[in-house]
Structure 1
C-alpha cells in the first residue's frame, strides 16, 4: 500500500491523531503543532506567555524519573494537580514568574512533543488560546514544506489504552487548521473538515468544552477554571516553540 496516503502527501496542511500521527507526518513536515487542549498545550501557552519556559516530561507526575529529569535540567518540577503550586492545571500558572523553567510531566502532550522532536521539524504547542499565533509561526518555520497538526486525543484507560479522539482537541486542531488554511488553502480533507467543524462551533466554544467528557471530568475535580481558560480563543499571541527540548518563545 502507498505509504504516502497515510502521510496525506498531496497536501500542504495536514492533520492526524496521536503518536502514530506523529510518525506519519513527522518525516515530511517542516513544522509540527502538538494540540492537547486539556490541558498540556494550554498550560504551555500560559507559562510561556508569562516569560517562563517548559521542559515537557513524557512521564506521569508520580513517576520517580520525573524528579530526576527535573533536577538534571535545573527545573522546578510541577506539582500534582490537586497540590498547591504550579502544575499541569493552567489556572495554577497564571502567577508563574518570568524566567521559571518548569518541568511539566504529561503522558499525552509531552510524550507527543518528545516524539515530534526526533524529526527535522520545528515543534509548536498549539491550543484554542493561541491558534492564530501558532499557525502564523508554523507557516513561517516550515518554509516550503508541509505543516502537520497533531491532535493528541485522550486514552481509554489511565495511560496506555487505545486512543480516544476528544472534542477539545478536535476543536483546537480545527482552530489551527482554519488559521493555517487562511495562509494556504492546500489542506488535506482531514484538516479541512476539522476547520469546518471549528468554524461552525465558534459561538459555542465555552459551552462545548464545559460539556465535553474532558471538561466535565475536570469540573468534577474542581478545575472548571481550567476549562474556561482553555476555551478562550486567540486570547494569546504566543507561539511556544520547542528548542533543545524546552518550550519557550
Structure 2
C-alpha cells in the first residue's frame, strides 16, 4: 500500500532556501466568532506575533513576517529532508496549535492554516517580502476604508462603494473624513517581523584586566518595521 503514497517523495530543490507561506482558513468567520475589533484587533496581533516567534524558534527560521492572518517563514535549513508533504502538514498544524495555545478564547470550530512552499534564492528575498509588505499596506487601506463605510452604510452598500474605489481614492476619502493613515501604528501599515538581532555586552576580562565587548544574538519581534530595502535585510544578515 506504500506505493499509493504517490506524493510522499516530492521534495523541494536541493540546496534551496524556501519560504513557507501560511494563511488562516476562513478567518473572516473566526473574526466574527471571536468578536474581533475592526479594523485591527490588538489582542489578535499580539497572538499572531507570539505564533511567529514560536515558528521562528521551532524551525530555526531566518526571518518571519506577518500581516493580517498571513505568515511567511524564510528557511535556510530546510526540515524533514525537504519533503513537501511533511513540511506543509507539520508547519501548518504547528501554527494552528500555537494560535490556540496563545489565544484565551473558546473557539466554535478549530482554527486552521493552509501552507504552501516557495523555493527562493537570495536575489529574490527582498522582492518577495516587498511584495507582501505592499499587500500589508493595501490591506491596511482597505480595512480602514470598509470599517469607516460600515459606520455610514449597510454592509452591502459599504462593500459596493469600496469595490468602486482604488487605493488612492480610499486613502483620500479617509483623509477627507478625518482619518490620516500616516498616523496609524506602523505594524498596521507594514506588518510585524521576527528575526535575530545582536546586542552589545560589556564584561570584565580578568585575565587581561580590562573591559571586553562582545555581541550576542537574541530573537527580536519588530513592530516598527521600515519599508523593506536591501539595506534592512543586509543589516539583519538575512541576505549577504
Query: What TM-score, normalized to structure 2?
Result: 0.31
Say which structure is richer in strand: 2
